[in-house]
Amino acid sequence: MKEHTFLNIINPVRDKMYRMALRLLISKEAAEDATQEVILKLWNRKDRIKHYANIEAFAMKVTKNYCLDQLKSKQNSNLRIVHANYETTNISLQSEIEVNDELEWLGRIVATLPEQQKIIFQLRDVEQFEFEEIAEIMDMKPTAIRVALSRARKAIRENLIKKHNYGIT
C-alpha cells in the first residue's frame, strides 16, 4: 500500500479515532497520544490492513483495544471517561452554563455505565456507526449491540429524568 493511499484511508477516520480515545481517556493529551500510537501501529501493518473489508471498523477496534489497555496499565490508573466536546458561539452566558452543566451531568451518567455500554453508546450515538460496524469493532452480534445500546440509553434517560425531577443530588 502506498503512503498516500494509507493516508487517504486513515485521514477520514482519524477524528473518529481521536473522539473514541477521548471518550475512554480523560485527557486530550492521552487521547492524542493514543491516536498517534494507533496510527503508527496501523502504518506498521499497512500491508496487511488492505485485506480487511472495513478498514475504518478495524481502525476503531484497534483504537478501542489500545485505550482499554492504557486504562488497565498502572501509569494510567487514574484515567476515567468524560466527554466535553461542546463548543459554541453567540449564546448567552446562562445558556452556556446550562449546556455545560447538562454535558457534565451526561458525562457523569455515562461514566457510571458498564465499559461495554460506554463504548457502544460512543460508537452509535456520537460517531454514528452502523450496528454491523459496531458488531465488528466489538466482536459481538448486532442483536447484542442493540440490547446494550438500549440499556445504556435507558440508564442515561432514567438518570437525567431523576436529576431533573429531584434537583441536584
Of 135 and 96, more confident = 135
Which amino acid does the sequence have at 8? N
Q: How confident is the model at residue 141 (pLDDT cuts 50, 70, 90)?
A: very high
> Which of 108, 120, 123, 111 is closest to 151 using CA atoms?
120
Going from N- to C-terminal start, the domains of the chain cover 1-80, 90-169
Under CATH, which number does the domain 1-80 receive? 1.10.1740.10
- How far is residue 78's CA from residue 71's CA, in Å, rounded to a whole number? 8
| Nearby residues of 13 by Cβ (< 8 Å), 6 or more positions away | 55, 56, 59, 60
Say how far apart CA 32 and CA 24 lie, in whole Å.
12
28-75 pLDDT per residue, tens: 888 899 999 988 888 888 777 777 778 888 888 888 888 888 887 744
pLDDT grade, residue 2 (50/70/90)?
Answer: low
Q: How far apart are CA 51 and CA 85, in angstroms?
A: 34
CA distance 68 to 7: 25
Separation of first and last alpha carbons in the chain: 55
Quote the pTM value: 0.55
> Which stretches of the chain are DSSP H helices?
3-24, 28-44, 46-49, 55-72, 93-112, 115-121, 131-138, 142-166
pLDDT digits (tens, 9 = 90+) for 76-127: 444 444 444 444 455 677 777 877 888 888 888 888 999 999 999 989 988 8
* CA R_g for the chain: 17
Domain 90-169 in CATH 1.20.1730.10: no
